[in-house]
Structure formats: structure tokens, C-alpha cells
Amino acid sequence: MSQKNLKTKASLGFVGLGAIGLPIAANLLKAGFYLQVHTLSRLAETSKQLKGAKSCSTPKDAAKGCDVLLICVSDEVAVETVLFGPTGAESSLTEGTIVIDLSTISPSKARFFSARLAKRNIEYIDAPVTGGTEGAKDGTLTIFIGASNASFKKISSVLKAIGSAFYTFESVGKGQEVKALNQILVAGSYAAVAEAIALGETLNLPMNKVVEALQKGAANSWALSNRSQSMLKDEYPLGFKLHLHHKDLAIALRTAEESGIKLPITSKVKELEEELIKQGYKDEDVSVLKRSITR
């Protein structure tokens, strides 16, 4: 597989067509890549957004003949099944193929998958993304890449079709470690916005004007700019599912524990999310944290 081929008519396999994966796959098609797709439910494979892509019945089929296999699934168990399960992609992957894992999983599992595939001269790159469904649709995701600059260059044309900011961190698992930091910050900022809005409403402040004012100062954040209206309306259209963020916080806390430090704020937000999940909000956007604030 040459860089020239990747820049022209590379063949890509893509597994995982959820809220993030589907628009990513659609952007790869728009960029001119040949795409073979599979998702567990099979439903999204026939989406109008994927007109021209080949629907495949298994990850094994999606990986056949591809130059690069991209994975965008919910957790490390799903990644392992996609790669090494009974109908997994591994048996179809050939020497020199690159696997780009866009999923958020533990750093240790990323390293495990990499070592297993390396035995067959297949490069595994952890490349978790951030930017929500908006970034996935617009092709403006930020991508944390557990690989060298040299490895990034091999796949740059693929990633540039789905993102706008790319950061390499030299070795496998490092992308996932940076993503853990990202999710810690997301947890704190969403919870803080939820508490501020709850107090502002209790004080009967004109909250739309308040949010506009806060965005002009040091309190501004992505969460305030992009999720405050959802909290004010008490409506939570999907951006990133609560239960997936809860899973990510578990990874972050486990990583912190292994490193010998405690994260009290992240632990508290995880507890709040657990309670909301019990109440039936697991598939709502993370901004549903607002409902954890009681008067």
C-alpha cells in the first residue's frame, strides 16, 4: 500500500455506524474513497448517506481487500470482537494493512490489540476522536493519534477527510491516554455548566442573556457554547450518549488509579451519571447532567 494509492482510490473498510461512525463514513465517501461498511444492527448500512458504499455482513467481509480498516464502536469488547471474534476482521487483513481505531478504549487494550496484530505485520493505530456528532457531520473532529508522525503521514489523507485537527503522541495507547484527559475535562465542564444554569434559573435571571454574557469572559467553554440551550430547554438531543461518556470516565479513573492519583471531581460526575442512567437517561446527551441538579 503506497501513499499514492491512499491519496487516490484507496479501499477502506469501516465497522461501526453509530451516531459518530455513520457521518464519519459518509465523509470518507464524499472524499472519494471506496468504502466497505458493516455495523452490528445492519440498519445503517443502507442509509442514504452511504450511497455507493458496499454493505458487508461481517467485519471479516468489510476488511477484505482493504488498504485501511477503520473501527468506530462503543467499547473495547466490541473492538476485540470486530478484530478477533468468530467473524472478525483479522483473518481478512493482509500484511501492510493499517487499522485505525477511532473508538475510545483503555490504553492497555489498545497496546494489546497492537501487539497481536503486529505479529502479522499489521499496524494498529489508536485514534480516538472528539467533537461530538456536530464534528463528525462537519468533518471537523479533533483526533488524538497514538502513532509517530511517519505513521500519521501514511493515513493523513484518510483522517483529513473526517477531521480538522490532528495530534500525534508517538506510541500506541497514548492517543487513548489523551482522550481520557479530554473526557475528564468534558465531565467537569458539563457539570459546572449544569450547576450554573440551575442556580441562575433559581435566581430568576434572564438566562439567555446571562449565557451570552458568560461566553464573553473567562467562564466560556465548549459545553457552555454548545449545550447551554439544551439545558435551558430541558431537551437533550443526541450529541454524545451519557452511558458512553460514563464508560469513558471509568477508563479515565482506572488509568488514574494505575498511575497512583485520585480524581475526586471526575468520580463525583461518574456517580451523577450512574444515577441518571438508572433513571433511564443512558441514551440522552451528556448535557442531561442538568437533571441531576435538584432545587
Task: Specify whether 137 is catalytic.
Answer: no
Catalytic-role residue among 154, 179, 241, 247: 179
Residue 50 Cα to chain centre, angstroms: 20
**Catalytic positions:** 179
